[in-house]
Amino acid sequence: MSEIVVRNAYQTDWDEAMKLAWNTFMKFDAPDYSQEGIINFNKFINDEMLYKMFVLGSYQLFVAEEDKRIVGMLSLREKKHISLLFVDVDHLQQGIAKSLMRFVADYARNEEGVERLTVNSSPYAVGFYHKQGFTDLDGEVRADGIRYVPMELKL
């Protein structure tokens, strides 16, 4: 296994990162979602406005890269809300999501002055977020076919 590098994403990383998000979502999250939720997730990651927000810097994307290939991604909305966190299926259980979390938590705290990160965790990822120190803010919520648990991490 080559070295994994975590970094801020470039504009040229966007399409590859969103493809990774879609493929991983379909394998692990989609089975727990309604058709409406799957359609809404697809609309979200393919939204032209979301891409424009990324280009303008108000929606941040971070990637984990191995041999110039994106193997993990994490996006941050409003400098404090984890919007997407996905790792390539062939790279699970290698600490990539944890490395992305650590990188983004340090960035949010040191560069943005953020005191807490929030996330709406899919049912599949709740255990991962608990291991990272997140606590539940509420029970499971369903909205627009999407299931999630609101959580926070104090930095």
* pLDDT at residue 2, as a whole number: 80
Model confidence band, residue 106 (pLDDT cutoffs 50, 70, 90) = very high
Q: Is the pLDDT of residue 109 over 90?
A: yes
* pLDDT at residue 32, as a whole number: 83
Per-residue pLDDT tens digits for 35-84: 999 999 999 999 999 999 999 999 999 999 999 999 999 999 999 999 99
Which CATH entry fits the domain spanning 4-115: 3.20.20.10, 1.10.3210.10, 3.10.20.740, 3.40.630.30? 3.40.630.30
Query: Which region holds residue 119: left if phi is over 0, alpha if psi is between -120 and 50, else beta?
Result: beta
3-state SS track over 90-108: HHCCCCHHHHHHHHHHHHH
Mean pLDDT over 127-138 rounds to 97
Q: Is the pLDDT of residue 131 over 80?
A: yes
Query: Is-contact 91 66, C-beta < 8 A?
Result: yes
Mean pLDDT of the chain: 95
CA nearest 44: which of 7, 69, 75? 75
| The length of the chain, given as a count of residues | 155
Model confidence band, residue 17 (pLDDT cutoffs 50, 70, 90) = very high
Model confidence band, residue 33 (pLDDT cutoffs 50, 70, 90) = confident
Q: Is the pLDDT of residue 152 over 90?
A: yes
Distance CA 35, CA 30 (A): 8
* pLDDT at residue 1, as a whole number: 58
Q: Is the pLDDT of residue 8 over 90?
A: yes
pTM for the full model? 0.93
